[in-house]
Structure formats: structure tokens, C-alpha cells
Structure 1
């Protein structure tokens, strides 16, 4: 599945980093995967301030007040109907245009402080809220509101942004990480072994970082895909890893080497998920403790 997320920031009150953009992009993709939408899709996200979203709200809905998020689907659907009507939606350049989401960063920042969670978590929540509206879900009554909220929280749980008091079991979406590892594998530099490996790391903030093995003629200077992905995450300011998926050209499921397991532990814990897969996308999930029972411990 190809997902294109077009993000435009037209406000200057809240700074937007690449990390925040990645979280919103991941939120869109996780929603579409959760709803089993496989066609190439495009979602536009406009980031504004309170005054601009009040203006849009008044123009489009006749409500003269600011809000946190607005959604404008390309095709109006009833709850969930879009899932069975994708083939009827016009395709432009083979991409299904789902619609536009408008988010007030001012309100998102205020709400994050009010609810006691991170700004990133609030933006992911508002993005998922907007996407599910584009997919035809609504919250006009208590039952539909509960259904939509459940879907949002499941997706946020998959991203590692689960609300602490939420009752649903946290679900790790292994398939997304495996798919990204397989896609990334093609970029590997492996002229000596011919053995390409890709990895995808999911961090506590909900971001996904990918990496490949990079070989060197001296062999000892070679870097494994797992460490490439982890180091990319750490270089972007991440410090905690929830899960990592590994894939190779082999039909056999591939496992991280000992050094990579120790590196993963440095930024994870004994329960960090290691998703080992093959070139067909088959995978098995292990806790890090299962693969590294006698690890070197960090000094507190």
C-alpha cells in the first residue's frame, strides 16, 4: 500500500519539526492499514492557528468558533461504507484522494497540556480522528462515538501512544513494521555477501525509522541493518525503542546478531518486541529477553 500525506503548515505560533510530521504521516498509514485499505491513497493535512480554523469552520460549517480538527472527505460516506466502496471512487493518477484534514496547532498544544500527555500524542490523536472522519466514521451518538474512539485508541496503541487509562489491550502492528523492513531491504549495500537485510524500528513516540546493512571490505566495519535503524532513531533524538522488525532475502526467518541485540537493549528493555521475518513476510515475534537472556546490564 502506498500512502501519500501532504502536510502544509501555514501558521507560525507553534514550531513543527520533521519528527512531528513523521508522527502524523505514520498515524494516517496506521489508520488505513487498520481499516484494510490497500489502494494507493492521498491525504492532505493543513496546520493552522485558532483564528484560521475558526474562519474555515465558519465558512464551511456556519460555526463561528475555533476547534481542534476538521475533516473534509472527497466522498461522503456513511459509517464504514467507504471500505466497501473503494472501487467506486474516482482515481486520479492511480491515487485515491481521501480528502483534507485541518488541525489547529494552538488548540492541540493547549489540549496536550490539559490532558497531561505529549504534544506528539495529541497530534497523533487528532490526525487519527480526522482520518476516520474521511473514512466515513462519525460520532453523532454515543454508540458511534464509542466505536470511533475505540478505533483511534487501537491505532494509537499500535503506534506506542496508548492512553494509560485506556482499557483496550495494546496491539503491536507487526505487519506494518515487517512491510517497511522488506521495502527498505532493497537499499542495502551488500556487495561482498550478497545478503540484503532491512530493519524498521518503532520508537516510544510512534515514529518508525528504517535501516539496511552496509558492508565494508574490512568486514569488521560492516554495520547491520538493525543498528543502522537504531542509530538513525537515536540521531533524531529518540531514546526508547518499542519494537524492531528484521527481514532479509532468505526464505528462512532472520534473527539479529548478538551485538545488535545488545544495542537494542540499550534503548529498549527485556520486553521490547523483536519481529523476525523472511522475504515472504512471514514472521515470528519474540521478547528481547528470549533472544538475549544473559545481557550486559546498564549501570544506573
Structure 2
């Protein structure tokens, strides 16, 4: 800023007024200051200015780098944060970089609040983070921890899936488990409950899995090796469903002609015409908005009791589910 002031021949205080868009400088002076700053490559350090006031106005977001639905959430976090006057800093968990490292990196960059997308941390760890910062968890319950949470009513979504498949005439409906993934335990339990409700307790078949394509492929190979293929499979999420469909396709099993497949998330990839996946839509926009508002409100009032927003899902029927090819 001092360099710009010397170039223009004005005081540093006047340059500061220009960059803060405050009155006190003529239009001509503003033009000269901005031109000089451009020539010198100077940009105001807004982060330093905020830190000098004891604030960073930055929300840190932790995500899993390969989860497409989490990318959809991030897309919606940005506009809501900007609307409320906050910047967003991302930190990803990836092979060789666990969730704890991703969180600590954001805290070391002085993020005022954290939004954790589908975290794997236990209640004690989440509670510890909630006492260090304003925290919102997205995609799972966080009861017992001093954090806010936003999630989908998993049981409602799974009930819609099983009801849809039973209505088409399916009876042998398998579920590829999501492992430790966000919402997986709730979806697994809801699947078992829904199958019993429809009188299909004897047909319950849970295949071990995870929320990725590799797990879907492995589940597909396991099902193909069995004595009888199910007529329908409810996958733990869309990525798992895509891996499953790829394996079935390579084995010459038609989807949905021989096996219907349903996913969960309604991530942007499921909309593609060559995938056309029947799936459960989670409202990424509303989930992101709730999470951002929760942490901003907690920054204003740290004494707020933990809050939970539970949003309704919606089954989206596309081309991967149909009536079974023959009575079963």
C-alpha cells in the first residue's frame, strides 16, 4: 500500500480509503490509485485485515475428494457463504491424508467455523471439535456432540426404494451396504425394516460394501457367483450403484431387464443419459444452506444448543428400475 501511495504521490491513508471503498478521495485519485496498484501487482490482503480485527470470516469445509455428492454440496455451500459475507476454504481427505489432518489444516489457517461433509469421526472427537470451533456435520446424525447437524431422513428414502421395487413385482431385493459411509448404518437398518414390513424377511440379503465404485463392482461379482441373482439391488449410494452396473454389464446381465438397480444421493452423474439411474434425491442445496447458516448463527451465539435439520428425500425413478422379467 505504501508503494502505491509513493507511485501516485498521495498518503497511505488515502490509498486505504480507496481500497476500502470509503469516501474521501476524488474520482480522479481513485482511478490513479487503482491504476498504480494494477501496475505494481498489488492486491489488498483482506485476510490480514480481518485477522487484525480478530476475525477471519472463513468457513472451512472438509470433504472426501472422490465423493460426487459431496462435490454437489460444496457447489451450494459457496453461494450461501458468500451471501452471508464469508469465504470458504476446502480441505480434502484422501488416501494418505486422513480426516483429522484435513480438519487440523483448516484450523491452522484460522477458519472460524467448520462444515464437515460425511465425517467418520466418533462422537467424542466431534464434541472436541465443537468446543474449539463452530461446527456443522452434514450427512449423518451427531447426537451427543456439541455440533449442529444436517441430514436426510434416511428411513423415508429407503422405504420409498423398497416400496417402489415391491410395487414393480420384485421380491428378491438385495442391499449393498455402505460400510462406514455417512448414513450407511441407517440405510441398512431401514432396508431390513422395510423388507419385513412387506413380508419379505426371508429375502433380506445384505452384501458388504462401501460408498465407491470398487465396492459396487465387488458386490456385483459376489452376487454373480451366487446360486440366484436378486431381481433388484438397492446400492448404498450412486457411486456404488455405478460400479455394480458396470460389473453386471460386463457379465452380460441386462439392467433393468434382468436386475433393477437403485442408488442413493442423486449426484450429478446419475442424471447422465447413459447412466439414467433410479435413485433417492438428497437436497444438496438445502443441506448446504442449513449447514452454513448453522455455523454462522453459532459464531454469533456460542451458547446455542445443538440443532439438527432432517430433510425429506425423494425417490427419482429413471431407467434402471423396471418390473422383473419373469414372476419370482
TM-score normalised to structure 1 length: 0.25
Which protein has the bigger strand share? 1
Structure showing greater radius of gyration is 2
Relative contact order (C-alpha < 8 Å, sep 6+): which is higher?
2
TM-score normalised to structure 2 length: 0.23
